[in-house]
Amino acid sequence: MDSNERREEILNILCNGEGPVKGTELAEELGVSRQVIVQDIAILRAGGEKIIATPQGYIMLKSGEGKLIKSIVCKHSGYDEIEDELNTIVDMGGKALDVIVEHPLYGEIKSPLMISSRLDVSDFMKNLIKTKAEPLSSLTDGVHIHTIEVEDERTFEKIVNALKEKKYLITDK
């Protein structure tokens, strides 16, 4: 298989998969190193493919027809509150697409999350704790933005109300 065929196969796997695929899984399936996969993904992205790397693996962004994309601004601290916030979003029917912080020097720093279930939240938290990584919000005293995907305005309002009740949501009111 040459490099073009391999990239086509990567696209096929990502487009037809039901969830994120780790680089090591792609490498094993295609008989190449993980570094070759990283390079292939970079070339595919440069060619316009909407592939993102999440903590769970690579995914191909698909249009969320009929779905609403909204942003919320939150503030909290500690791993327990991160987990509670994300569980609240998914329990109310949302998908946390990313987390964004406004850094005073670097400007906007954004990281994809693609968290849509309690299992995703659990995996994310295990990885956060295992790697001893600081969450992005630690750069901004706990203030961060989430882009979330919801089915409808009613679902978004449920999420907003639940996060307000927990005092995680920053509002201008």
Which residue range(s) make up the domain with 24? 3-60
One domain, residues 128 and 53? no
CB 97 within 8 A of CB 134: no
One domain, residues 80 and 132? yes
Ranges of the chain whose pLDDT falls below 50? 173
Of all residues in the chain, the percent with pLDDT exceeding 70 is: 96
Q: Collapsing DSSP states into helix, strand and coil, what is residue 161? A: helix
Residue 172 belongs to a domain:
no
Q: Collapsing DSSP states into helix, strand and coil, what is residue 99? A: strand
Q: What pLDDT digit, counting tens, does each position of 57-78 carry?
A: 888 876 555 688 899 999 998 9
Residue 124 belongs to a domain:
yes
What phi and psi values does residue 103 have, to the nearest 5 degrees? -80, 140
Q: What CATH number should be reported for the domain holding residue 124? A: 3.30.1340.20
Q: Which residue has the tokens 């697409």?
A: 97
pTM of the model: 0.71
One domain, residues 24 and 52? yes
One domain, residues 26 and 96? no
DSSP secondary structure string, 43-76? HHHHTT--EEEETTEEEE----TT-EEEEEEEE-
